Amino acid sequence: MVSLKQLDLTDLSVRQVNEYLHGELLEERPAGVEILNPDGLHSIAAGLDTKVNVDILGHAGYFIAGMNQQARVTIHGNVGWSVAENMMSGVVRVKGHASECAGASGHGGLLVIEGDASSRCGISLKGTEIVVGGSVGHFSAFMAQAGTLVVCGDAGPNLGDSLYEATIYVRGSIHSFGADAQEEEMQADDFEKVTDLLSRAEMNYDAREFKRVSSARSLYHWNADAHQEY
């Protein structure tokens, strides 16, 4: 077993790095993988499907750790669009900030963004649990169908627009709700869920500081009398 594998993107292409992660990694079984000099490159560590710790040492681009299964991927910097998009399981952690559409269409696992996330964080969420240490931009959790978005800072305009069965928890201020999203009273199971997610995300906040946002379910069925006004 290799104790630690280092892959340097100064010398290797993203394709070569990902080929290692999908091939030789399964034979070598290193204790962990460090990816050096990402320098904003895209699609690093995409499609992993094995239990391994991957550390990306620097800022990275679009679609980092997309479709992740089982792996624990940590980005030691900021990321571009769609980090952990369509992730299935495992843990993806961003030590910095994330651009638009973080966790898009995620089905499972845990996505932690220690800084802020831009617009449409958790768009079309399908089961992933997302914890953002800072604030989120406009239209976050747009059409989120299942899963959880925890925001430790503020939420931008149109939070939870066209929300289905996902749940949002916000500690700070909410600029405005999107169509069919509403604030509801926190219940005992909400406090338990938020406390658990904050612990797993290593965020030191009190669940009692959070507000619950969920769907009013008025968009579930077309209403001829609404005249397109919902």
Query: What band does 72 get if pLDDT is binned at 50, 70 and 90?
Result: very high
Edge-to-edge, what's the strand order for the sheet holding 126-132?
A: 5-8, 33-36, 53-57, 72-75, 91-94, 110-113, 126-132, 146-151, 167-170, 211-215, 181-184
Task: Give per-residue pLDDT as tens, 146-182.
Answer: 999 999 999 999 999 999 999 999 999 999 999 999 9
Q: Which two tokens stand for residue 6?
A: 């280092």
Domain boundaries, the chain: 4-219
Tell me the three-class secondary structure of 30-60, residue by residue.
CCCEEEECCCCCCCCCCCCECCCEEEEECCC
pLDDT-derived band of residue 222, with 50, 70 and 90 as boundaries? Answer: low
CA pair distance 57, 5, nearest whole angstrom: 13
Total-model pTM: 0.95
Cβ atoms of 162 and 179 closer than 8 Å:
yes
Q: pLDDT by residue (tens digit) across 91-149?
A: 999 999 999 999 999 999 999 999 999 999 999 999 999 999 999 999 999 999 999 99
Give the 3-state DSSP-derived string for 148-206, with helices as H, strands as E and coil as C: EEEECCCECCCECCCCCCCEEEECCCECCECCCEEEECCCHHHHHHHHHHHHHHCCCCC
State residue 51's pLDDT score. 96
Give yes or no for a contact between 118 and 100, defined as CB atoms under 8 angstroms apart: yes
Architecture of the domain whose range is 4-219? 3 Solenoid (2.160)
